[in-house]
Amino acid sequence: MAIRNIRELGEPCLRKVCKPVKEMNSRTKILIEDMFDTMYEANGVGLAAPQVGILKRIFVVDCGDEEGNSVPYVFINPEIIDRDGIQAGYEGCLSVPGKSGMVTRANNVKVKALDENMEEFELEAEGLLARCILHENDHLDGVMYVDKVEGKLYDNEELYENNEE
């Protein structure tokens, strides 16, 4: 469909609480398709509607599987119903290009949401997928990962240099 402009840190839409989606319509279907196209084009694993300037409670993720296959999910009006365990790792964000920071999140998460057909589902996720769901869900409440960074926000080039040593 179309690649949308990704809003960057400092733009007001990233700090607003999004509104629930009440019904599926053609504009929302196009938005979801565009969000996947935009995320893939930017080499991301998740994208929330406010990151493309739309204040709706929608995000998409695709962390793939162990074989490298695409595993796309659509989350509409998501609700985190359980979280457990701890994982700490570097996170980045398409709205904060070129930066990463250490963030601690739950290692396991259970989420309830609607899919692109407005059918309710529950998903239990762990590791990277859990991190991604929690990161994108935060966007829907105007929370950015930089608010949760422990310590320094790094330039990605700086991190890569440190890992090569």
Distance (Å, whole) CA 119 – CA 17: 23
Residue 47 neighbours by CB distance under 10 Å: 28
Distances (CA, A) of 150 to 13, 53, 74, 103, 131: 24, 27, 29, 6, 15
**Which residue is associated with the tokens 């998409």?**
60
List CB contacts of 119: < 8 A, sequence separation 6 or more.
none
Of the residues 66, 67, 119, 136, only one is catalytic, namely: 136
Instruction: Show the tokens assigned to 115.
Output: 């899919």
Unique residue bearing structure tokens 């996720």: 125
Residue 119 among the catalytic residues: no
> Rounded to an integer, what distance in angstroms lies between the CA atom of residue 32 and that of residue 148?
27
139 is in an annotated binding site: yes
13 is in an annotated binding site: no
Residue 18 labelled as part of a binding site: no
As annotated, the binding site includes: 93, 135, 139
Which positions are annotated as active-site residues? 136
As annotated, the binding site for Fe cation includes: 93, 135, 139
